[in-house]
Amino acid sequence: MVKSLDICICLFILALDIYAAVLGWEAEEAQNQKLGKFLDVFVCLFIVALDAVGGKLGLKAYDAEGQERHLKLWMIECKGPSHGAFVLGIGAASLLVIAHVIANSPCFVTMKTSSNKTLAKIFLVITWFVMLIGLGLLAFGIKSNHESSRESCSVKLVVVHVLKYGGYSCMVHAFFAVAYYATATSLFTWGD
């Protein structure tokens, strides 16, 4: 887990360094456009990497949660909190938020053409919904694995697989965040 977080932090710092270098360079317009496209592709790949690692952490949190002792009686399930699931869930939620901030950052995203504005706005709304749903699921899973919540009992239908679906929503967020970023920055143009 630590290695993947370190890699993501290093990639983020590298992306910021490249972005600062792009702003500082004074080259011809065509070369700046090529460099801008490269930076846009790099940011898209970075968003996918953050969300993929966040999704993987969410799935590992679900696995760690499953390793704790469970007592099941009909539809009622009692389980103890899992510190590993708690930590992995926080990591997944953090990476989801970081990827969302980068995808929506005004430093990277500026609406460049009018032909993509409507599509970009649609992807923006979907990205926000997916992020809120995923963050809510991960927060619910984190809360259920917090040490202060000792052994909790609940109806099985309510709390089953919350961290797993939170991890999946990180991966879905990657698709919509990249689609938003690509349309907002005119990485690809549709229409005229």
Given a cut of 90, whether residue 126 has pLDDT beyond it is yes
* pLDDT at res. 185: 76
90 part of a folded domain? yes
192 domain-assigned: no
| Structural domain boundaries, residue 148 | 2-184
Inside any domain, residue 101: yes
Query: How do residues 91-123 score in pLDDT, each as one tens digit?
Result: 999 999 999 888 887 666 665 555 677 888 888
The rounded distance, in Å, linking the Cα atoms of 88 and 45 is 22
Q: Indicate whether 189 belongs to any domain.
A: no
Hey, which bits of 39-160 come out as E strands? 70-73, 76-79, 152-155
Residue range 27-54, pLDDT digits in tens: 444 455 666 677 777 888 888 899 999 9
Residue 190 resides in a domain: no
Separation between Cα atoms, residue 44 and residue 46, nearest integer Å: 5
54-to-44, 67, 90, 137, 152 alpha-carbon distances in Å: 15, 20, 9, 13, 26
User: Which residue, 54, 56, 78, is CA-closest to 155?
Assistant: 78
For the chain, how many structural domains are there in total? Answer: 1
Give the full edge-to-edge strand order of the sheet including 70-73.
70-73, 76-79, 152-155
Asked if the structure places residue 30 within a domain, the reply is yes
Please indicate, yes or no, if residue 191 is contained in any of the structural domains.
no
Q: Is residue 92 part of a domain?
A: yes
From residue 19, how far is each of 6, 12, 35, 112, 183 by CA, in Å? 20, 10, 10, 17, 19
Q: What does the CA dihedral 124, 129, 98, 58 come to, rounded to 10 degrees?
A: -140
